[in-house]
Structure 1
Amino acid sequence: MKRRAVIKNLLIVAGGVAVLPSCTTNSGKASIQLNRITIDSDQEQILSEITETLIPRTDGPGAKDLNLHLFVLKMVDDCHSKDDQTCFINGLNIVEDLAQKRFNQSVKDITAAQRLTLLQELENTENKDQDSYRFYTITKRRTIQGFLNSKYVMSDLKRYELIPGRYNGYFPVKSSSKTS
């Protein structure tokens, strides 16, 4: 009888040990697995605020609601060159530093209008080879791509009909008063 109790307790302890790593979350890492770039949770939040500035919440969901920052991160990680990935990380840090210099706050803490002016400055920069400009163009392009390919846009906004459209046999036709 004691063997059963020992085996039962051993299984409970083994199950606890197996579940324990999932209970301790590392708050310093990004919320998705990235293979080629390294992003911490603060940088992920900054990117989230930037994408929300590009596509804000209105009548429909915004970039945060659609998790477009995760789409941007995954696309940069999987589809961009090593040079683009380096420029992306450097540009993200430059944007944060620029917000600290301008507004004495992080990108996460400034208002949407301040973020918009910050992004407009990045877009209007004269040196197009800067990391900050390349970061902005990559982020903007991938955010728009993610929005247009999201379930919200594809199912709620776009109603696809095969050309020539549906046939309505009961549609009233106005008779032509012109006779030849």
Structure 2
Amino acid sequence: MNRRHALRHIALISGGLALIPSCDFSSDDILAAYEKLKVTTSEKDLLGVVSDTIIPSGEIRGALEIAVPDFILVMVNDCMEESTQARFMNGLRGFPGFAGKSFSKLSSKEREEKVLEGLRLEGENAPEDQQLKDVNFFLATTKRLTIQGYMASEYIQTEVIPYSLIPGAYQGKVLIADIQKPRING
């Protein structure tokens, strides 16, 4: 092997090794779909846990299984003003501090209590109280959009409460035992 090639390879390898400590491989990537919000994957996961606490899975699918957190982020990103988006994101980022230890590691009963406590928050005019107001706003907005996204989902509209564009024929005399699932939309 030529000595010049060996020296060139050593220089390239040592230069690469010098740059490795400056690279941060553990950072949370910002999701590109929500360009106005700058949401990371861990924040989206936290939003998923909060929405799953609001509508958990049981006999029917829960909010997390229907991808309601994506609906929430799209609605906040596309339909809200910048000041409202900032409050929502401040509340989302301040929620782990409000919840104490890791919210996802709490039991379902403890998560419900934390969400209810956050919905009852009232703040004064101090800066730390503004953080509590933002957490309250985040939870109230998340609750509203979770219910909206869940009830408008394809799963609910087709399998749980089938949507009927045109109401069925009038039946004046029906036995109660013959009544089927209610059709609330038609």
Aligned length: 140
Consecutive unaligned residues of structure 1, counting only runs of 5 or more, are 1-25, 173-180
What's the counterpart of residue 113 of structure 2? 117
Q: Does 1:151 align with 2:133?
A: no
Q: Which piece of structure 1 moves more, 149-158 or 129-138?
A: 129-138
Cα gap change, 1:27 to 1:64, in 2 (>3 Å):
farther
TM-score w.r.t. length of structure 1: 0.70
| Partner SS state of residue 108, structure 1 | helix
Match in the other structure for 2:40: 40
Give the aligned residue type for 1:111. S
Helix, strand or coil at the partner of 1:58: coil
Q: Which runs of 4+ in 1 moved over 6 A?
A: none
2:118 is aligned with 1:88: no
Aligned 8 A contact 1:32 1:70 in 2: no
* 1:88-141 Cα shifts (integer Å, max 9, x gaps): 1111122111122xxxx2112222111111111111123397111111111111
- The aligned runs of 1:59-74 (5 Å cut-off) are 59-74=59-74
Cα deviation 1:30-83 (Å, max 9, x = unaligned): 566112111111111110000000000010100110011111111100101111
Identical-residue share of aligned pairs (%): 26
Residue identity in the other structure for 1:147:
Y
User: For the structure 1 residues 84 and 110, does the alpha-carbon distance in structure 2 shift closer, same or farther, using more than 3 Å as the test?
Assistant: same
Q: 1:78 maps to what in 2?
A: 78
TM-score by length of 2: 0.68
Question: How far, CA to CA, are the matches of 2:27 and 2:81 in structure 1?
Answer: 28
> Structure 2 regions of 5+ residues with no counterpart?
1-25, 125-129, 175-186
* 1:50 matched residue in structure 2: 50
> Does residue 162 in structure 1 map to residue 166 in structure 2?
yes
CA drift of 1:166 comes to 2.8
RMSD, aligned α-carbons? 2.4
The aligned runs of 1:22-33 (5 Å cut-off) are 28-29=28-29, 33=33
